[in-house]
Structure formats: C-alpha cells, structure tokens
Amino acid sequence: MRTLVLPFFKEVTLREIGVARCDFFLKQLAKKSYNRARQARVVLRLALGLAVRHEILPRNPMDHVSRLRRPARTPDIYSADELKAIRAGISAWEQRPIKAGPKPDGQLGQVVEVMLGTSGRIGEVLAIRLGDLDLDAPIPSARISGTIVSRKGEPTHRQDHPKTARSVRRLALPGFALRAIQARLEKIRFTHPDTLLFSTRVGTPHTTNNIRRQLRDVMQEAGVPEVTPHRFRRTAATAINEVGGLQLASELLGHSDPSITRDHYIRRNETVDPVTADFLEQAFGRPA
C-alpha cells in the first residue's frame, strides 16, 4: 500500500477514486510489472472494501476494473553446457584451499544433484530423512513427504507434509543423485530414521534461504549468473516431458493438474517432428 498504491492516490479523496482511475492505475503498473499490479489490486480492493463497509463509498470500484492479463512467459531451464558449468563451479568452490573456518563438506553440490535428480522443491529436498531412503531396493528411491519451513518467531523446522497432498511421492533415483546421497551418508554420524539427510554441522535443518544465498554466491564467483533452485525443477520436468510425456512429468513434480506443469514448468520444444515434411511431400509433391 505504501510503496505501490499511495504514491498514485495521495492527491485525491476516497470519493474521487472511481473505476476509470483504478483501471488506469493498474494498467500503467502492469506495464512495468505484472506481479506488482496484482499485489496493488489486492490491497486496493481491501482498502476500498473497508470504505464501502463504513458507508464512505456506495460501491467498490475494483469490482468493475478490467482483468489483468498475465504476460506469456517461457519457463527457463538449464542447458547441458550450463549444468556442466554449474557442477564445475560448485566443485571448484568445494575444493578450494581453506585458510580459516570450516572446510565445505560437499552438501551444496549434493543438494543440487538431488534437486536435479528428483525435481524436488528446495524445501522438499532439505526435508528428506534417512527413513525416506530405500537405497538397497532393486530400484533405489527417495520418498518426498515433508518440507522445511522458516516462520518469523519460530525456529526452522521440518513440516511433516509438503506443499500439497499430491506432492507426497516416492521417486526412483537416477545414478548421479544416488551417488550424491551415498557420498552424503558416509559423513553422517547418526542413523536414526528421522535424521535429516542434509543438515547443519549441529544437526539442525538448513534454511532454504541460506542454500539459495550460498548457491547464488558460489555461482556468481564462478561466472554463472541467475542460478536458482526452482530452475533445476523446471529443467528436470522439461527433460521428462520430452521423453516420457506431460503426465509423467506432472507426476514427477507432484502436481494435481498437468496443465500447471505444462504452463509453468515445461519449456515448449518449438521443433516439430520432421516427419511432417515427408507426409507433405507424399501428399502434394510434384513428380521430378
């Protein structure tokens, strides 16, 4: 309200705020940022709704403004070369000479491998417990059944359910993720099923923000910009969609609706199957 709405409306009274003024304000803001316009719309509706309840305004102008149109956006994913650079950058950072402080224990690289190998959210990966792993089965797997949360006034802790009920899932582990988990297990002193696979040196949960910040700092030093945990999730989803289809990618991500996977997580392959050229040649080709 202070940063987005009031600067525009500070010179007018409540009774001067009508549909046209609100509509113009939101459209101008949306040209700069759709998300800011969406946030402004919410707080403006609430404020004007309060004015209606106190009978200062006869109706809420926000009921009649035009809809905000979300701009089309192509999900960003990592290319093979970018993944190679990310892995090399983390490896170089973990193996650098340490003059003071504790030496990196390899967790950052292992977290990245497990995120890429499960398409899990960062909080879900950090919430994996030893009891969620089944590495001796014919098909090694990990169960996603919780997430790490950090609320104001509360210590960071493991929540015993992920984002949605559909998000609880057991995932087969690809070889690179399995090797990362096995390397991590070699350094864990405790074997209780509730022990977190990834944790601080005193056994407490990592915060998701700390992992994001560490990943960002390491990657900036390595010259690889804009590396975020969620981009690994989209990268894995796109790879699965290309070889296994949308439904399988949606199940991997734990989405209840495949359209969410298609619209927000998968980069569309713009190359159409070249077999169409043969079909069109057969249908319309002229004799040589």
CA distances from 122 to 2, 111, 285 (A): 32, 8, 53
Average pLDDT of the segment spanning 231-244: 90
Q: Sign of the C-alpha dihedral, residues 281, 284, 286, 287?
A: positive
Average pLDDT of the segment spanning 170-186: 95
Domains of the chain: residue spans and CATH: 5-64 (no CATH), 80-284 (1.10.443.10)
Task: List, in sequence order, every residue forming a beta bridge with 46; answer none if it has no partner.
Answer: none
Q: Output the pLDDT for position 258.
A: 84
Cα angle 140, 260, 41 (rounded to 5 degrees) comes to 135
In whole angstroms, give the CA distance from residue 62 to residue 43: 10
Residue 227 host element (H or E) = none
Q: Output the pLDDT for position 72.
A: 66
Answer whether residue 47 shows pLDDT above 90. Answer: yes
Q: Output the pLDDT for position 275.
A: 84
Burial readout 36-62 (b: 16 or more C-beta within 10 A, e: otherwise): ebebbbeebbebbeebeeeeebeebbb
CA distances from 100 to 103, 106, 219 (A): 8, 17, 21
pLDDT tens, position by position, 49-100: 999 999 999 999 999 999 988 776 667 888 899 999 999 999 999 888 877 7
Q: Output the pLDDT for position 269.
A: 72
